[in-house]
Amino acid sequence: MILSFHPVIIADVQIILGDRSLSGDDLSLIHDAKAIILPQSCSRELYRTCRESSARLYPNYDVRYAYEGKIGQSLLFHERGWPHPATTRWSSVEAFALHEAQGVLPHRPPFFLKRNMCHEGDGVYLIQGSSDLQIALEDIRRKGDSGFIAQDLVPTEGNVLRTVILGRRIVTYWKRPSVPEQMVTTVGAGSVIDETWMPELQEKGVVQAMQVSRDSGINLAAVDFVFSLPNPEPQPLILEINYYFGRRGLGGSLRYYRLLMDAVRGWLEENGFDPERVSLV
């Protein structure tokens, strides 16, 4: 039996969980399932419960919950040896302040501070001097000090390569600044989507994203890379993994769901299931 918790993917059995907890009937279906399709909004509880069953799961969210937030991801990048901007991890503003009191900053300005549980450009502070640093630290403290990272600024001219892993397929596009010298580039903040710029760097990003997928089992996520553009042979540096990502850069929700369905069917076939047993709503 193929069980789907995804709201737009129909399988042998489909459960629309919403915001309710798992029921006894849900648990019985999970126990009996041979394969389970999970939603991108999958909670830790749902993933843990399904992971403890004998069913195969798509997507693979093992590292999503083992390495949460920017602190967790930076540790993941370090442990796996994936190229990434130099990063230090801080449990609190106080821990950072103790280091700062020694008169040495962990990074040479300009650099970034990034709040731990924020994504898509939120909670990012560009530090160019002491005044920026104090404003950022105070804002982090005021908004709930759950830790943060400090990270080297890579000279990208604001360009970020997004690689979207969909099973064995990887779709790429650039998020480019809409105004000159824009340092934080996100689609939500009005960046320009460009599918054709720097194809040679896109290919490098695809190769690195494939390694990330092989090393971690990630088979549904958006992985962002940056390149030091002044370098004559720039290499991709992994910046962030987004497991719940926007779809405008993929051509909208309808195209995304078609790509997702192809990935799910490919995964089912690889694992010995009939791919025709799932369909879109």
Q: Where are the domains of the chain?
A: 2-59+257-280, 86-152, 160-255
d(CA 23, CA 143): 35
| CATH hierarchy code of domain 160-255 | 3.30.470.20
Least confident of 5-9, 20-24, 91-95, 182-186: 182-186
What is the end-to-end Cα distance of the chain in Å, rounded?
18
Per cent of the chain over pLDDT 70 is 94
CB-CB contact of 32 with 26 (8 Å):
no
- 107 by Cβ neighbours in 10 Å (0-12 / 13-18 / 19+) ranks as middle
What digits encode the pLDDT tens for the residues 79-133? 999 999 999 999 999 989 887 766 678 899 999 999 998 876 789 999 999 899 9
pLDDT of residue 39 exceeding 80: yes
Per-residue pLDDT, averaged over 147-165, amounts to: 96
| CATH hierarchy code of domain 86-152 | 3.30.1490.20
d(CA 68, CA 66): 6
**Would you state the pLDDT for residue 145?**
73
**Would you state the pLDDT for residue 172?**
98
**Would you state the pLDDT for residue 179?**
77
d(CA 4, CA 11): 6
Per-residue pLDDT, averaged over 144-172, amounts to: 95
- Residue 110 sits at φ, ψ, to 5 deg, of -80, 145
> 61-68: long-range contacts (C-beta < 8 A, 24 or more apart)?
61/243, 62/216, 62/217, 63/216, 63/217, 63/218, 64/221, 64/241, 64/243, 68/117
Which two three-digit tokens encode residue 242? 């987004």
Per-residue pLDDT, averaged over 172-183, amounts to: 83
**Would you state the pLDDT for residue 119?**
75
Cβ atoms < 10 Å from Cβ of 186: 17
What digits encode the pLDDT tens for the residues 236-267? 999 999 999 999 999 999 999 999 999 999 99
* Residue spans of alpha helices (H) in 1-148: 24-32, 44-51, 62-66, 69-80, 93-100, 130-142
**Would you state the pLDDT for residue 189?**
63
From the list 177, 191, 171, the residue with the least C-alpha distance to 263 is 171
**Would you state the pLDDT for residue 193?**
95
